[in-house]
Each structure stands twice: as structure tokens, then as C-alpha cells.
Amino acid sequence: MLNKYARAFFTRVLTPFAAFLIRRGVSPDTVTLIGTAGVVAGALVFYPMGEFFWGTVVITLFVFSDLVDGNMARQLGRSSRWGAFLDSTLDRVADGAVFAGFALWYAGGGDDLVLCAVSIFCLASGQVVSYTKARGESIGLPVAVNGLIERAERLVISLVAAGLAGLHAFGVPGIQYLLPIALWIVAVGSLITLIQRVVTVRRESAEAEAAERGTGAGEAGVRESGARETAEDQQTRGSETAK
């Protein structure tokens, strides 16, 4: 849901920066790789230590590379299958690193195995949610549903909550509970989104198979009708010959 509005807004904001990088000779693939490396480093270095504020600051600085690289590719007229594949693949890596960082914190200094499990579920469900859409489209289905929580929602909810929770280290009381609440929201929302997409693929698959059966039956009927007409023509010619 956020993708529809936030992406358009930030694309306009980041267009001058993308143009600046192009003038400097930076390629879109380089931006994608650097952005992913920055997100992974921020998540796996700061989050396991409980440094949620600074970790979120670092991640936020690099997460916008996902918009910058695409903007650069469009300005250069170089949009390609390889670029789309690389971008999508590294998005999954970055997402996994964020929730892995949470899981490592709760498995260690955070000392909460339940929230560790919730973080792992968020990691896994996020990957599967993306896979269901990609797999459905690969078999020719439109998968005409976005779902309750997509990638943008997962990241915004998690990163905002983590950044605010990090303010507890600066003396803000009670705010550390925002992150556990956010993780539960993402976990439940991801599960609902997964169910929505699976149900949609099941429905679209049944509709496609029914349409194929209908088309096959129609073609069979045409062939049968043609065969009858051919047989009747042959009989007619035979009768005329006999006369």
C-alpha cells in the first residue's frame, strides 16, 4: 500500500541525486550493491548490540538506494532484466539482514526467545510473501493482489519502531516496547498477506484451468462439427456419383 504513494514521492525527491551520480560515472548496479552492503552492515553490526537508534540511522541512509538505482537506470535508458533481477534479489538479502539483526539481539543481550522467534518468523514470512507473487507470475498468473503488508510496510514499521526504541538509550522511558509491538504487527500482517496471495493464486489458477478446458472443449466441438460436415459432403458426392 505504501509503495503506491511513497515510491512516487521519493522518486521525485531523489531524481537530482540520481542525476548527480550519473554525471560522476556511477552505475545503477554499483548503487544497488553499495546500498545493500550498507543495510546489511547497519543491521548485523548495530542491532545485535542493541544499538537500534544508530543502526536505523545507518540503514535509512542506505535503504533509499533501492529507489536511486532504478531512477538512474530510467534516466540512462538502461532498464534491463539483469538490473531488475539483481535489485529484487538484493532486496531479499537486505530484508533478511534487518530481521536477522533483531533475532540476534533477542537471542543474546535482549534475552527474549519469544521475540527471537517472532523476528525469525518475520524474516521467513517476508521471503515467502515475495516468493508467492514471483512464483505465481512465473506460471502466467497475474496475482492481482498486494496484500495487507508488503515490503515497504514491513520496513517502515520495523525501522521506525527500532529507531524510536533506540531512544531508550538516551533516557526516553517506556519507548523500548515499540519494537516488540511492531514485530508482532509485522508477523501477523505478513501471515495475512501470505494467505491473501495464496488464496488469490488458487482462485486465478482455477479460473485459468477452467478457461483452458472451455477453450479445449470449443476446439474439440469445432473439429467434431468439421468432421461431420466432411462426412456428409462425402456421402453427398457418393450419392451424386451413384446417380
Angle between helices 113-138 and 81-107 (to 10 degrees): 160
- In the set 87, 91, 111, 233, the catalytic residue is 91
How far is it, in rounded angstroms, from Cα 156 to Cα 179?
12
How far is it, in rounded angstroms, from Cα 42 to Cα 101?
9
The identity of residue 72, as a single letter, is M
Query: Using CA atoms in the order 76, 93, 151, 149, what is the torsion angle rounded to 10 degrees?
Result: 160
95 a catalytic residue: no
How far is it, in rounded angstroms, from Cα 79 to Cα 29?
11
Query: Using CA atoms in the order 24, 29, 33, 39, what is the torsion angle rounded to 10 degrees?
Result: 80
The identity of residue 16, as a single letter, is P
Report the catalytic residues. Answer: 91
